[in-house]
Amino acid sequence: MTMKQKNRSLNTVKLVTAFCAVALSPAMSIAQDTASGVLRVGVRQEPDSMNPHTMSFSISFEIIGMIYDFLVGKNFDGELTNSGLAERWVRSEDGLKWTVTLKPDLKWADGSPLTVRDVVSSWQFVMNSVNSGVSVNGTSSVKGVVKSISAKNENTIEITTEYPTENNLNERHIVPEKVWGSIGYEKVSDFRNPAPIIGSGPFILKDWAQGQSVTLERNPHFRGPGPFLQEVRLLQFANPDAAVQALRSGEVDYITDVPVNQVAALDDEPDIVAKAFDSTRTVYLGFNTWSGKGAGSTTALADPAFRDALGYAIDKQAIVKKVLGGYGTPATSMLVPAYGRLYPDIFDIVRPFDLGLAKEKLAEAGYKDKDGNGLIEDKEGKDIHLRLYLPDVETTYPAVAQFLTAWFGQVGVQVNTTVVSEASLLSNVQDPAKGGGDYDMLIWFWEDVRPDFPLSVLQTSQIGGLNWSFWSDPEYDRMYQDFQRAGSLEQRAEVAQKMVRKLYTQGPYHALYYPATLHAYRTDRVSGWPDSKLPPLMSGVFPNPTITSLKINE
Amino acid sequence: MLIVRKLAGAGLTIFVIVMLGFFIFRAMPGDPERMLIGSAKGVTPEMLTQIRARWGLDRPLFPDQFISYLLSVARGDFGYSFKFRGATVLDVIGPRVMPTLLLVGIAQVIAIAAGLWIGACAGWRPGSVFDRLGSSLALGAYGMPTFWLGMVLLIVFASWLRWFPVTGLANFGNDDSIGEWSEIIRRSVLPIATVAIAQTGQYALLMRAAVVEVSKEDFVTTARAKGIGSNAVLRRHLVPNARLPIVTLISLNLGFIVAGAVTVEAVFSWPGLGLLTVEAMRARDYPVLQALFMIFAVSTVLVNMVADLLYTQLDPRVSR
* Residue that wins the pLDDT comparison between B47 and A533: A533
- Interval A82-108: pLDDT, tens: 889 999 999 998 888 999 999 999 999
Q: Quick one: pLDDT at residue A68?
A: 96
How many other C-beta atoms can be found within 10 angstroms of the C-beta atom of residue A101? 17
The verdict on B48 touching A (C-beta cutoff 8 Å) is: yes
What is the DSSP code string of B157-174?
IIIIS-SS-SS-S-S---
Q: Quick one: pLDDT at residue B50?
A: 62
List A389's β-bridge partners, or say none.
A418, A442
Q: Quick one: pLDDT at residue A28?
A: 33
Q: Which chain A positions have a beta carbon within 8 Å of B265's beta carbon? A: 238
Please judge whether A427 and B34 are an interchain contact, meaning their C-beta atoms are less than 8 angstroms apart: yes
Contact between residue A513 and residue A283 where contact means Cβ atoms under 8 Å apart: yes
Give the C-alpha separation, A82 to A359, whole Å. 53
Give, as one character, the DSSP assignment of residue A112.
Answer: P
Q: Which chain A positions have a beta carbon within 8 Å of B92's beta carbon? A: 210
Q: Where are the alpha helices (DSSP H) in A72-204?
A: 116-128, 139-142, 177-180, 185-188
With CA atoms as reference, report the closest residue to A242 among B279, B191, B214.
B191
* Best residue in B35, B82, B98, B172 for a mutation probing chain A (most A CBs within 10 Å): B172
Candidate from A9-13, A147-151, A310-314, B206-210 with smallest mean pLDDT: A9-13
- Interval B10-59: pLDDT, tens: 889 888 888 887 877 776 655 555 555 544 444 555 556 666 666 666 67
Q: Which chain A positions have a beta carbon within 8 Å of B106's beta carbon? A: 19
Give the C-alpha separation, B247 to B311, whole Å. 8
Mapped onto helix, strand or coil, the DSSP state of residue A380 is coil
**Confidence tier at A167 by pLDDT (50, 70, 90):** confident
Q: Quick one: pLDDT at residue A86?
A: 95
| Across A196-201, average pLDDT | 94
With CA atoms as reference, report the closest residue to A233 among A211, A252, A258.
A252
User: B211 Cβ partners below 8 Å, 6+ apart?
Assistant: B119, B120, B122, B123, B124, B234, B238, B239, B242
The verdict on B145 touching A (C-beta cutoff 8 Å) is: no
Give the C-alpha separation, A212 to B272, whole Å. 10
Say if residue A35's pLDDT is above 90. Answer: no
Please judge whether A235 and B167 are an interchain contact, meaning their C-beta atoms are less than 8 angstroms apart: yes
* Residue that wins the pLDDT comparison between A504 and A183: A504
| Across A409-430, average pLDDT | 87
Residue A294: half-sphere exposure toward Cβ, Cα within 13 Å:
21
Say if residue A253's pLDDT is above 90. Answer: yes
How many other C-beta atoms can be found within 10 angstroms of the C-beta atom of residue A118? 24
H-helix or E-strand containing A522?
Answer: strand A517-522
Q: Quick one: pLDDT at residue B84?
A: 81
Q: Which amino acid is at B19?
A: M
The verdict on B23 touching A (C-beta cutoff 8 Å) is: no
The verdict on A4 touching B (C-beta cutoff 8 Å) is: no
ipTM: 0.74
Q: Quick one: pLDDT at residue B256?
A: 67
Inter-helix orientation angle B286-314/B239-255, to 10°: 170
Q: Quick one: pLDDT at residue B259?
A: 66
Say if residue A5's pLDDT is above 70. Answer: no
User: Tens of pLDDT along chain B (320 residues)?
Assistant: 778 888 888 889 888 888 887 877 776 655 555 555 544 444 555 556 666 666 666 677 777 778 888 888 888 788 788 778 778 888 899 888 888 888 888 999 999 999 989 998 898 888 889 999 989 999 998 888 888 999 999 889 988 888 888 876 665 544 444 456 777 788 889 999 999 998 899 899 988 988 888 888 888 888 888 888 878 888 888 888 887 778 878 877 776 666 667 888 888 888 889 889 888 877 777 788 888 888 888 888 888 888 888 777 777 776 65
Q: Which chain A positions have a beta carbon within 8 Å of B263's beta carbon? A: none
Nearest Cα of chain A lies from the Cα of B56 at a distance, in angstroms, of 15
List A510's β-bridge partners, or say none.
A285
Angle at A422 between CA A421 and CA A426, to 5 degrees: 120
Task: Return the exposure string of B68-78: e unless at least 16 CB atoms fall within 10 Å of the residue's CB, then b.
Answer: ebeeebeeeeb
The verdict on A132 touching B (C-beta cutoff 8 Å) is: no
Distances in whole angstroms, Cα of residue A321 to Cα of each of A310, A534, B217: 20, 21, 67
**Confidence tier at A359 by pLDDT (50, 70, 90):** very high
With CA atoms as reference, report the closest residue to A297 among A377, A419, A413, A386.
A386
* Best residue in B161, B171, B279 for a mutation probing chain A (most A CBs within 10 Å): B171
Contact between residue A536 and residue A517 where contact means Cβ atoms under 8 Å apart: no
Give the C-alpha separation, B223 to B215, whole Å. 11
Phi-psi region at B56: left, alpha or beta (left = phi > 0; alpha = psi -120 to 50)? left
The verdict on A189 touching B (C-beta cutoff 8 Å) is: yes
Nearest Cα of chain B lies from the Cα of A391 at a distance, in angstroms, of 12
Option in B166, B170, B181 nearest A14 (CB): B181
**Confidence tier at A31 by pLDDT (50, 70, 90):** very low
The verdict on B80 touching A (C-beta cutoff 8 Å) is: yes
Mean residue pLDDT of chain A comes to 87
Mapped onto helix, strand or coil, the DSSP state of residue A369 is coil
- Interval A275-299: pLDDT, tens: 998 888 999 999 999 998 899 999 9
Say if residue A15's pLDDT is above 70. Answer: no
Please judge whether A49 and B30 are an interchain contact, meaning their C-beta atoms are less than 8 angstroms apart: no
* Residue that wins the pLDDT comparison between A180 and B254: A180
Q: Quick one: pLDDT at residue B52?
A: 65
Say if residue A20's pLDDT is above 70. Answer: no
| Across A530-549, average pLDDT | 82
What is the DSSP code string of A392-440?
TT-SSHHHHHHHHHHHHHHTT-EEEEEEE-HHHHHHHSS-GGGT----S
Cα B104 versus chain centre, distance: 7
Q: Which chain B positions have a beta carbon within 8 Å of A237's beta carbon? A: 167, 269
Residue B150: half-sphere exposure toward Cβ, Cα within 13 Å:
24
Give, as one character, the DSSP assignment of residue A79.
Answer: -
Distances in whole angstroms, Cα of residue B195 to Cα of each of A487, B96, B113, B276: 61, 17, 14, 18
- Interval A367-399: pLDDT, tens: 999 999 999 999 999 999 999 999 877 778 999
Q: Quick one: pLDDT at residue A16?
A: 42
* Best residue in B48, B152, B269 for a mutation probing chain A (most A CBs within 10 Å): B269
